[in-house]
A and B are shown apart, each in its own frame.
Chain A
Amino acid sequence: MSHDVFDTLIAIYAVGALDGNDLAQLEAHLAGGCDRCEAALRESHEALAQLAPAGAGATSPAVPPEVKAELLRRIGEASVRRRAPERRRWVPWVAATAAAMVVSAMLTGGFVASRYEARLGQMARETTRVRDEVRRHEETLLAQLEVYRRVVELLGDPATRVVELRGSGPNAEASGRVVWHERAGGLLIVTKLPPLPAGKAYEAWTLGGPAPRPAGVFTVDASGQGSRKLEPAEGMPAKGFAVSIEPEGGAPEPTGPIVLASR
């Protein structure tokens, strides 16, 4: 935003006429520190101070003499209270007043402080929660982006093929695809696989040799989607792929039920 807006607002502020949103806007701006506004404000106040005597009329009203006397009396009294509290007749009165002031300050201060502390605490918790959420979203998005990037990379090569996987048994709804390149390996993407209980994981297998070869362990999210980068199957062309349920750390050969397999 151009500073011109604030040049206007600071002038109105200097004559004490700023209100509403403008006031809030300027105060926020000043809170951020602005030398230009500070200087303008200072200069305006000095100019207005010059104006004051001129604004009062040719015959300046005489200062009422009793005010100075009254002020000096108050100051004297205050310093007596401050410096000589041992004077008997002051003690009960001063003590009572002081006690009342302390109690009222504690009540007001304590009340205001606790309200604000509670509110600040709540805001801090909300901020932390939002920040964690944003970080989780970011991680998820980055992971997804990595998957897409890899798919695009693989699909750019004419030697890449896509293999369909179908669900079997109770998971007939589930399906999967492997984007596969013999030398570069591939990527397995699954949908509608049920999330597994703790201690269990899905394991991908490369088929084509004498026995299925382990290709990696993965899990799915709450919506049943998941993906897994597959290592190239060295020394044998992959003829097909399968997914089974295995212990969390994976198994050297399939032990659990097959949930997805290529035809």
Chain B
Amino acid sequence: MATTRIVVPATAKKGQIIEIKTLVQHPMITGHGRDNVGKPIPRDIINAFVVTYGGEKVFRADLFPGVAANPFFAFSTIATVTGEIVFTWTDDQGVETVEKRQLTVI
């Protein structure tokens, strides 16, 4: 599981558009580079980021090697009901990093 940093409000008013910002620690190795003896360094990136809220997908990103290391995303979602926001990052090996945050809607 990679280290993450998520900025999301803990509470929001119903109907309010909330801003969510996420960071995940990953070198995002492009696959274009070579090591010190000229051997290609294989690609190793996070290629997918999915966010669900109350079980429904509210944001998805397809990442290619052109995304900077330690990928950052900011996006928005409407606060509908109190529920869990689940963040899932998946890398080229299929390894997932999952984080959960509770959002209380008043």
A, B assembled together: no
B interface residues (Cβ-Cβ under 8 A, vs A):
none
